[in-house]
Structure formats: C-alpha cells, structure tokens
Amino acid sequence: MSQQVTALPTTESLRERALGSLTRLGVTFEEGDGLRARTPITGEDLLGLSAATPADADRAITAAHEAFLSWRTVPAPHRGELVRRLGELLREHKSELAELITIEVGKIRSEALGEVQEMIDICEFAVGLSRQLYGRTIASERPGHRLTETWHPLGVVGVISAFNFPAAVWAWNTAVALVCGDTVVWKPSELTPLTSLACDRLLAMAADEVAVSRDVHRLVLGDRALGEQLVDDRRIALVSATGSVRMGREVGPRVAARFGRSLLELGGNNATIVAPSADLDLAMAGIVFAAAGTAGQRCTSLRRLIAHTDIADTLVDRLTTAYRRLPIGDPFQEGTLVGPLISGQAHDAMQAALTAAQAEGGEILTGGRRQLADSAVNAFYVEPAIVRVTEQTDIVRQETFAPILYVQTYRTLEEAIALHNDVPQGLSSSIFTRDQQEAERFLAADGSDCGIANVNIGTSGAEIGGAFGGEKETGGGRESGSDSWRAYMRAATNTINYSGRLALAQNVNFL
C-alpha cells in the first residue's frame, strides 16, 4: 500500500497562507464572482475574483500594442534590464511564489521551488540573449553589394498557459519575448489566478524600478472566451498556447486564417526504453520521478515503459514495490512525493483510462485507487498506477493526464523504436542503456521522433538552455532556450549597394 499523509491542512489555513503570500508580494485584486481561486489540496474554493470582460481584454491588447510601438525601438540590452530585474525579484520572492503554486496546483514543495528556479534561469538566459540576437552577413553574387539578414521585434505576443506549470511557461515566453522587443498579453489558466497575479505583480515591480511602461505586459484573468479573443485579434502577432491537442486543433487554424503566427505546446505520450544493459538503479530513479512526479500531470510525464523481455519482470517487480511505498498526501508536508490531481475531472479520466486498459487486455499491477477521500471529499488523491499491456492499444496511444504507466516489452531495438514512435504525440523520450551503439541509434534520424530525446535520464526535467517542444500532435513549437527566440521575431533580408551602379541578380539586364 502507498503511504498516506492522513492530516491535510484546512481550506481556511490555505486561504490565509495564500493571502499572506500575496500581501508580501504587494498584490492587490478585486474580489468578485467571475472567477474562483481553488486549491486541489482540499478541493475547495479559496476566494472569488473579478474576471476580465471582453472590453477589458480589448483594452489590454490596445495598451500592449501601443507600448510595442515604442518598446521595439529600445536597444535590446536595455530591454534586458527589465528581465534582469524580474529575475532578481523572483529570487527574492521565490518562497512566496512557490507557496502559491503548491496551493493552486498541488505540487510538492521541491517541485514548486523548482518551477520558480526555472523562471529565474530563463531570465538569466534572456538577459544574455539580449546581446546575442544575431543576424548574418551573406556572400553576395554582385560586386560592390553586401547581403545581410537582420531580426526585428514581431509585435504583441498572446500567451495562453495551462495549470500544470502556471508560472514557468509564462516566464519562458515572456522573458524571451520582452528582450526580443515584443510586448505580452497573458491569459493564464482559470485554475491558477493567484499565481498569475503574483507573476504579473513582480513584473510590474520590475518595470517600475527600471522606468519601463507596465503596458509591456498585461494580464487578463477569465475563461476560455478571453483566450479566443487573443486567438482572433489581428493585433496579436504570435499566439503561444500551451494545452491539449484539442485546444491546438482549434487555435492553429484560427490564427492561420488571419495569417498570424502560432507556437503550440500540446500533448505528450512519452516513452522510455529500458535496454538489457541498462543500469536498473538509474532507470528506476528516472522512471519513478517521470511517471509519478507532479501526480503525472506534466506534459513530459512518462506514460509508456518499453522494457526488454530479459529484464522486464525484474524491472516491473522493483517498480511495483517502489510505487507501493510512495507517500501520498499534503504537498506541503516533508516527505510527500505525490500530491493531488487537479480536479475530479482528472480523476474520472484516470479511472476511465484504467477501465479501458483492462477491457483491452491490460492488467493493473498496482495503484489506481483514490486515497484520503474521507478527510477531503472534494479533493482527488490517487495511487499512481502501473498497467502491464501486451500491445499498444487505443488507450495506450492516448494521453491521459494522470499517473498511469503502461508497461510493454520488446526483443529488438528496432521493435522498441517502432513501438516508441507509434503514437500521435512526439514530445519527450528516453532510453536507458550502457551500449553506446544503442544510444546513438536512438538519437539518430530514424530513432526517436520526439522533440526531446534523452539517454540515461527520464522524460521529465528539461533544462531551459535547450529548446523545449515536440513534433506531430505536440504541435511543433519551440520555447525557452537555443534559438527558439526566432519565433518571437521577424527576419529581414537586406541588400546594400555601395558600387555606384545597378547590378541585377542572376545577370539580368534590363536598362
């Protein structure tokens, strides 16, 4: 049996903790009935907030667009000063922001602090980037000509973020967009309004301190309709949307219809291959965190384990034992590793997936049961589940945003890679092996088809220095590090003629 933390905090104590963090951050807000701040720790409402109206959103877009007209002309290193100060404020208020993340999302303390550290890291990356928005000089075929490529600010970036990383994904987009000369309108998840208010407040503080207009960033709190407003508004040059594949199917075509740009971070159905030569202790650590961490509510969470037949039984036995010892309960309590699911809807989806897996021939080896229902009737704590399957059935090929790990076996690496790639999603992947040839084969062009491919680590826990994103139904977007900044800028090809005569390309003669 999984270990349980039997005593959960009261909703009133969580409300006081949230209000205390907001007060220390200097956050003010208007109470109302348009939006409810809620905690999955008890499954109850914390307080009511006023929601933005369509007119409010229009004013926010207008303000951000007007701010862009001057912000784009500010030298990029000076734009970096705003992000530098934001990073400093995040360091100063790391604890308060992590507290709000735990209250609204249910992440254990170390994961919440890790999310804020990710924000700090991307700010540091973006500050350096502000002096490295490099173009190119290209060899011209015409004498006395110089051919160059330059990059310019794009416009207003509309950020639509999901509940599971309520602060980090915003920071990935906002830090990079700001140094690129863009302004931002942010529509966060309705499930995390308090965390969103805190992030907006810290950026406003940074803007005041470095004498930048607050309108370079505007927050709109509300429901799906506000997100649709960003999607359809022609003044939004780029829509960066994180969420489900269903959402992406709607966002992408609508933005494309008005010839806007979209950056989509959608579903993941991530797999790990465990080879016969793998260090099983290392594999165990990587698998358990990737599959059960954040209660399986990361887009990079491990959903599928593909183990070689020679070691599968041993590995599964060890995983089953480890799963049964996972402490489940209050995410604030030291030692807890698995907090709550975000909602009853997530719990229902998990149970439906387990039922479907059994109907398709799968066997639940451990987990899947609800815990702490007596002490928190409106909260949904579950035992992470391991399901042994004999083939990659329909339910295995779907992403269920919950801690379910499907285990299947393989005999040859070619078979394993084929199983790995035979899903609609293509976000994160990994292999555990001590065979260099196998590792290189997995990373090759005909190996993993995901945007993230790892060797001897799990599928979760990406660093900000590398571009984050995936292929196929994951959407193809890239955020955070590497050269993902180019998504937030427009390229211009420039030809300078200093020859004193007109020379046409391709030796064309006209006059």
Among all residues, which ones are annotated catalytic? 265
Residue 76's CB: how many other CB atoms inside 10 A?
Answer: 17
DSSP string, 279-311: -HHHHHHHHHHHHHGGGG-STT-EEEEEEETTT
Eight-class DSSP state of 412: S
- Give residue 93's identity as a one-letter amino acid code: H
Q: Is 494 helix (H, G, I), strand (E, B) or coil?
A: strand
| Sequence-ordered list of residues with C-beta below 8 angstroms from that of 22, at least 6 positions apart, any chain | 29, 100, 194, 197, 198
Q: Phi and psi at residue 370, in whole multiples of 5°?
A: -75, 145
Of 173, 187, 188, 76, residue with least CA distance to 122: 173
Largest CA distance in the chain: 88
Q: Which residues contact 462 (CB under 8 A, 6 or more apart)?
A: 300, 428, 452, 468, 480
Of residues 202, 125, 126, the one with CA closest to residue 167:
202
Whether 430 and 286 have beta carbons less than 8 Å apart is answered as yes
Alpha carbons within 13 A on the beta-carbon side of 277: 12
Tell me which amino acid residue 224 is.
R
Compute the Cα dihedral for 311, 313, 314, 320 and give only its sign. Answer: positive
Partners of residue 136 on adjacent β-strands: 149
Beta partners for 407? 305, 388
Read off the tokens for 215: 């309108």
